[in-house]
Structure 1
Amino acid sequence: MQTVNNYNEFMEEVRNNRSVIFYFSHENCSVCKVLLPKVEQLVHSTFPEIKLIYCNTISSPEVAAQNRIFTVPSVLIYFEGKQYFQFSRNFSIDQIKEAIERPYKMIFE
């Protein structure tokens, strides 16, 4: 999975992709480690046109700060350069799937 290390890289990914999901986490978060493979599986199997990108909040705190990420895990979902959804701390894979389905179909199908 691709990672972003600074805010310029983050913004470049938002500008250059029709849809992007950013997964914010760090290595000390046990919940994040369990949830990440599930998010990867969802994106690759159900929403293959969406690019999934990882951001470590400890090694890249400016990216987290610019996006108002104060807790992990957090997920930001962008469609056509605009943030549509943000999920933080307590969320399920089903919530992410339900949020993505409609805009994904409108853009990619």
Structure 2
Amino acid sequence: MQQLKSLEDIQQVIAEQQLVLLVIKTGQCGVCESVQAKVSTMLKTRSDVTGIYAYMEDAPEAASAYLAFSAPTVLVFFEGKEVFRIARFVRFDELDHVLSQYEEVLKEQS
């Protein structure tokens, strides 16, 4: 996963990539680190998903733009639009299912 430090960088990745997973987290949050590590491991087998993350402290405008009121917040974007959001208590089975559905759509399009 790639760390981004500005809203502009995040928006550029979302605009350029078809399927993006964004984790917004805080620096002093153990749960955030754990969630990012699990998401990062999950994405290793998913070449169609671009994984990025940002710290609220580094990019407060990103947290504001994406209405990330708690940490961690995990967002999935498909073709530039937010299609899934989960915050604080991340259910990885649900996240895995959503990513699988959108990966299937990408395979059907190609």
Q: TM-score, normalised by structure 1?
A: 0.92
Deviation track 1:36-66 (CA, whole Å, cap 9, x = no partner) reads 1111111112x22111001101121111101
**Residue of structure 2 equivalent to 1:25:** 25
Do the aligned partners of 1:3 and 1:53 also contact (CA within 8 Å) in 2? yes
2:94 corresponds in structure 1 to 95
Letter in 2 for 1:10: I
Equivalent pair of 1:57/1:63 in contact (CA under 8 Å): yes
Q: CA RMSD in A?
A: 1.2
> Normalization by structure 2: what TM-score?
0.91
Distance across 1 between alignment mates of 2:107 and 2:10: 22
Gap regions ≥5 residues in structure 2: none
Cα distance between partner residues in 2 of 1:3 and 1:87: 19
Query: How far is the alpha carbon of 1:67 from its aligned partner?
Result: 0.6
Identity of counterpart residues, as a percentage?
23
Runs of 4+ aligned residues of structure 1 deviating over 2 Å after TM superposition are none
SS at match of 1:76: strand
* Paired residues of 2:5 and 2:59 also in contact (CA < 8 A): yes
